[in-house]
A and B are shown apart, each in its own frame.
Chain A
Amino acid sequence: MALERDKHVAQHALLTLDEAQLLAMYRKMSLIRRFEEKTAEMYTRGKITGFCHLYAGEEAVAVGAIEALYDKDYVVSTYREHGHCLAKGADPRAVMAELFGKATGISHGRGGSMHLFDPDIRFMGGYAIVGGGLPLAVGLGLSIAYKEEPEVACCFFGDGALPQGAFHESLNLASLWKLPVIFICENNFYGMGTLVQNAICQEELYRFAEPYKMPGVRVDGMDVLDVYRAVTEAAARAREGDGPSLIEAVTYRFRGHSMSDPVEYRSKREERIWQERDPIKNLRRRLLAERRVSEARLDQIDAEVGAVIDDAVKFADESPEPPLEELARNVYVE
């Protein structure tokens, strides 16, 4: 049964993190949720076109993982990467403008929703061939080891990538060469509309770590602190020179595979169960109960985030189209 999973509750993590850091995580998750809600709205209004895969519901994975990284650590992602890119610190204006296809977009309107990139924050790209980003993360890990730098390369991918050869080859090579790579599988149970157990013989995905001789853990991907704890451990291990880790974050996308998916392959009941486990509401509840953060404070963060996203939409809408004269620029390095 898809909903059966290990339950890890990060009982102590909340107590050891300071309030500012917890609120920063809450803010980022709220920002991503708001960004995705606006994106859906703009897509429906025809401002955003093409393929568009939303991250709503999975925010705890990106935020928990990236909060555990250093600024100079690399992140490689997939076509469902708005959340990772924003969590790594991208300007929401530049990301929204990219979705609008504008010249001011983070990839200057050449990439779109699936191909965000910003070297300044070491967000090394969204890649739209399933599994295609893993070898790049191995290569970034190799560049770190080669230069004897302290960073790690963190690679996000979905459960759909596990049957790909690229997954198995990448885990083998990263382990063989003890590279500082953190492989984070976002298991949201469906590769498009195919249930994970209809796609791969071993549905406990973290167990693929064992044959490749690296630590493998399954974490609650709806709990930002559980993700944070696991990635902190994996990053420390990688920085020590002890090699890669595999983390399976069990999560759920609240929307369809893409904007054009009517989601007919799963039940409303299943969706309701997962919506009750909403990672943002979950953190909010705990901040109120266990940290005595005031409701007003969290409401204020939500309002601030809302204003940031409204500003991003306005910026994207008012930005110019990329000039036609530059259509053939940057095929080769000039």
Chain B
Amino acid sequence: MPQITYREALNQALREELDRDERIFIMGEEVGYFGGAFKVTDGLLAVYGEKRVRDTPISELTFVGAGIGAAMGGLRPIVELMTVNFGLLAMDQIVNNAAKIHYMFGGKAKVPLVIRAPQGAGHQLGAQHSQSLEAYFMHCPGLRVVIPATPADAKGLLKTALRQEDPVIFLEHESLYPVKGEVPDGEHLVPFGKASVLREGKDLTLVSYSKCVYDTLAAAHELENMGIDAEVIDLRTLNPLDLDTVVESVKKTGKAIVVYEGWRTGGAGAEIAAQLYERAFDHLDAPVERVATMDIPMPYNARLERAALPSPAHIISAAERIV
């Protein structure tokens, strides 16, 4: 199987889907002539033209809203937010319109819209450019939240997103774009709501998603040297959330750590821990640990930023507390 980067995998998915369905188009800031702020849409304008690869002005609220309207008008828009941080300007359209239109109008309207957004910290971009906001979207009923870690999942989940009918928030960690992995050529679909067990183990369950999956795998490797056999689960989508796979794992291991880059308080880890207490309390031998970003605006300084973010060392410390 060919080895390509996460960025190339997304680009490949976009090309295949643009070829497959005339209703699909892309719009967002710098997606056309610039080739995408992170080069995900590189080369698409030359092939598909300005009609289907549309540069927008810096008007997040309105081009996201226009994506919703275009979806209601029978198209299948992909809206790219340059980063999730700017998506906050569009939260009214996402939360009050996209997420509610199907339900609020009695099931008579659909919004098959995919909103792609790079997110995450680690590049010394300061407090306003370093956020992981998946919990905001996960909190709101009506939105699908997709957050792939591997190039193959990036491709397969994006293609799935474009073939279902709900609004999707598709979150790509900025550090993952150069990561390489095996990606199947051509048709490759990954279903929503199906976690992937990346490493089997019997002593401890490590639950993660997005970039933290790699920190978690590194920690699992270290833990093995310490005699702790950790299972690693990549959730891949947060809505739908495949807790069954996590519960099954916890039944075996009795211990769980949730690793994620959102803020610790009110993050996805809080929800996953709460659901584990509800569904697997009798199987837990220790409290569910959360390894997440400190509850602070991200500082610029590199040493401070590293210390604020979850890391393999943090995961190992948490494991030592409960195993």
List the interface of chain A (C-beta within 8 A of B): 74, 76, 105-111, 115, 117-119, 124-125, 127, 129, 132, 134-144, 146-147, 153, 165-166, 169-170, 172-173, 176, 329-334
Contacts and interface: CB of A to CB of B under 8 A. Distances in A.
Interface residues of B, number: 41
B64 A135 contact: yes
A242 to B, nearest CB: 19
9 contacts: A107-B106, A115-B105, A117-B105, A132-B97, A135-B66, A142-B75, A147-B74, A329-B107, A333-B110
A142 B66 contact: yes
Given A118-B108, A169-B57, 20 more contacts: A76-B69, A107-B108, A115-B104, A115-B105, A117-B106, A124-B72, A134-B62, A136-B65, A136-B68, A138-B69, A139-B72, A143-B69, A146-B51, A169-B61, A172-B62, A173-B56, A176-B57, A331-B103, A331-B141, A333-B164
B317 interface: no
Contact of A332 (B59, B64, B73, B102): B102
Contact of A135 (B62, B109, B165): B62
Contacts of B66: 135-136, 138-139, 142, 173
A333 B103 CA distance: 9
B14 to A, nearest CB: 17
B141 to A, nearest CB: 5
Contact of B103 (A110, A119, A143): A110
A144 B57 contact: no
B156 interface: no
Interface of B: 25, 51, 56-57, 59, 61-75, 77, 92-93, 96-97, 101-110, 141-142, 144, 164-166
A190 B223 CA distance: 66
Contacts of A170: 62, 65
Contacts, number: 141
Given A135-B64, A143-B74, A331-B142, A125 B69 contact: no
A165 B97 CA distance: 16
Contact of B108 (A119, A166, A172, A329): A119
Contacts of A329: 107
Contact of A140 (B59, B72, B144): B72
A173 B59 contact: yes
Contacts of B109: 117, 119, 124-125
Given A140-B73, A170-B62, A125 B142 contact: no
Contacts of B77: 139
Contacts of A153: 69
Contacts of A132: 65, 92-93, 96-97
